[in-house]
Amino acid sequence: MAATISIHGMWTNRLAFILAATGSAVGLGNIWRFPYAAGEYGGGAFVLIYLLCVAAIGLPIMMAEIMLGRRGRRSPINTMRALAREEGRHPAWQLIGWMGMVTGFLILSFYSVIAGWTLAYVVHSATGLFVDIDAAGADGVFGALVGNAERLLFWHSIFMALCVLVVARGVASGLERAVRLLMPALFVLLVLLVIYSLSTGNFAQAADYLFTPDFGRLSAEAVLSAMGQAFFSLSLGMGAIMIYGSYLRSDASIGSNSLIIAGMDSLVAILAGLAIFPILFANGLQPEQGPGLVFKVLPIAFGKMPGGVVFSTLFFVLLMFAAWTSAISLLEPMVAWLVENLNFDRVRAAALGGTAVWLLGVVCLLSLNKWSGITLFGKGFLDLLDFLTANILLPLGGLLIAVFSGWVLSRTVSADELALGEGPLYRLWRMLIRYVAPVAVAIIFANSIGLPSLVMGWLG
């Protein structure tokens, strides 16, 4: 039988868990990736496919990951080892936990560097640097930041220190207290920015861009993009949701909590689009994918608008909050493992884990400037870690979680943890986790590593 509480502490109530897991899921990608993809691939048609993919892929795997975490009540590695032993299966299943922890470690190393950009841009915005800035000026500001190793090191160090500070304080005093402050603040800032966009931007054009269905643009590429967005945006496969699940009380509903978390995550992405695109369109600017949208295009728009200094500052504070709540969830699995296996106290474990992440982050930031000429497999170090985690480790981890939960974990255990009985909801979840989600994630995995292109190339 599983322990009823974790040695690391517990969330004090359901709201704390929902805020923490939503904070883990909501990150920088929600704010620049989802709105762009929606507009690029058919507006409302893409949003519809995305929501269907969340229901069929994201939700079942999220429920499974929370279930495994709560059943094991340990760090992901020790949880998977214990559950495999409980089921009489090979201990190699603990590889799921190792993959999750390593993936989170690698992601956090370069995520912290990018999050550091948001800290720098809070200062740039607050000091009026973007007032009346043009495209060349915005490119210059971004280039000066990324090209300066010392400045990147400073902001990367500040951000990692913020993460260590929260995680070192434990579940209730650290993680929970942080998300209770940061997540409501994030939503308030986002709503304020939407109101600002509504009053000063081209809201009608943005709404049309995001929500008008154009099924003619729903190509296979668009569906794959929606599937990937649904999987990656929920912070699955990196140990964060599993460790947060281990702090969830036994009487809390995994199904309803997962539904709320997925809904809030999608809501943030949609609100981000409604905050960003009216401002762009009002200034005759077109959205582009990735960091360039946030760090090169938006400063131009804010710089031309009334109240731009205030609202651009609020926007980059919002980004920093989103990055912070995600980052602490990536550090937590490693800290929990150090406490369990090496008998460290939390302060020492957080300091050691944070330092290790910081050191790898230094290599990542140097790959953007002083070591930019050094490549592995044709990629700089930061880009290589991004490719490795997003295209290989995350989908593979999600696939293994689905397989273990649906095919290895006994029906009795999963039914007991999910508390759905043997009714239609449990049978639906079991069908999705055993058949639909693994196939869908396998397709995402194959597409992300370019397997279809390779096959077509072999076929001539």
Its sign, for the CA torsion 254, 256, 262, 264, is negative
pLDDT of residue 219: 85
Q: Which of 286, 318, 311 is nearest to 128 (CA)?
A: 311
Q: At residue 331, what is the residue type? A: L
| Residue 304 per-residue DSSP state | H
Q: At residue 325, what is the residue type? A: T
pLDDT of residue 363: 98
Tell me the C-alpha to C-alpha distance, in Å, between residue 440 and each of 18, 57, 120, 238, 330.
26, 7, 39, 18, 25
| 46 located within any domain | yes
Its sign, for the CA torsion 298, 303, 305, 307, is positive
Q: What is the pLDDT of residues 247-302, one digit of tens each?
A: 999 999 999 999 999 999 999 999 999 999 899 888 888 776 667 788 988 999 99
Tell me the C-alpha to C-alpha distance, in Å, between residue 302 and each of 30, 35, 274.
20, 18, 15
Quick one: how far is CA 333 from the chain centroid? 15
Q: At residue 140, what is the residue type? A: G
| 9 located within any domain | no
240 in Cβ contact with 103 (< 8 Å): no
| 5 located within any domain | no
> Where does residue 42 rank: exposed (0-12), middle (13-18), buried (19+ CB within 10 A)?
buried
409-413, long-range: CB < 8 A, 24+ apart: 409/68, 409/83, 409/87, 410/87, 413/71, 413/86, 413/87
| 20 located within any domain | yes
Low-confidence ranges of the chain (pLDDT < 70): 1-3, 288-290, 452-460
Residue 308 belongs to domain with CATH number: 1.10.4160
Residue-range definition of the domain harbouring residue 90: 14-458
Q: Which residues contact 339 (CB under 8 A, 6 or more apart)?
A: 7, 8, 345, 346, 349
| 88 located within any domain | yes
| 3 located within any domain | no
Dist CA 276 CA 316 (whole Å): 12
Dist CA 336 CA 7 (whole Å): 9
Q: Which of 321, 327, 330 is nearest to 393 (CA)?
A: 330
Q: What is the pLDDT of residues 384-436, one digit of tens each?
A: 999 999 889 999 999 999 999 999 999 999 999 999 888 899 999 999 999 99
| 252 located within any domain | yes
Other beta carbons within 10 angstroms of residue 214's beta carbon come to 14
Degrees to nearest 5, angle at CA 270 with 269 and 275: 95
pLDDT of residue 352: 98
| 120 located within any domain | yes
Phi-psi region for residue 237, left (φ > 0), alpha (ψ -120 to 50) or beta?
left
Diameter of the chain by CA atoms? 66
- Give me the number of domains the chain comprises: 1
DSSP string, 375-418: -BTTB-HHHHHHHHIIIIIHHHHHHHHHHIIIIIS-HHHHHHHH
Predicted TM-score (pTM) of the model is 0.94
Q: At residue 3, what is the residue type? A: A
Dist CA 320 CA 119 (whole Å): 6
Burial annotation 91-102 (CB, 10 A radius, 16+ → b, else e) = eebbbbbbbbbb
pLDDT of residue 417: 94
Tell me the C-alpha to C-alpha distance, in Å, between residue 333 and each of 40, 73, 241, 291.
35, 12, 9, 27
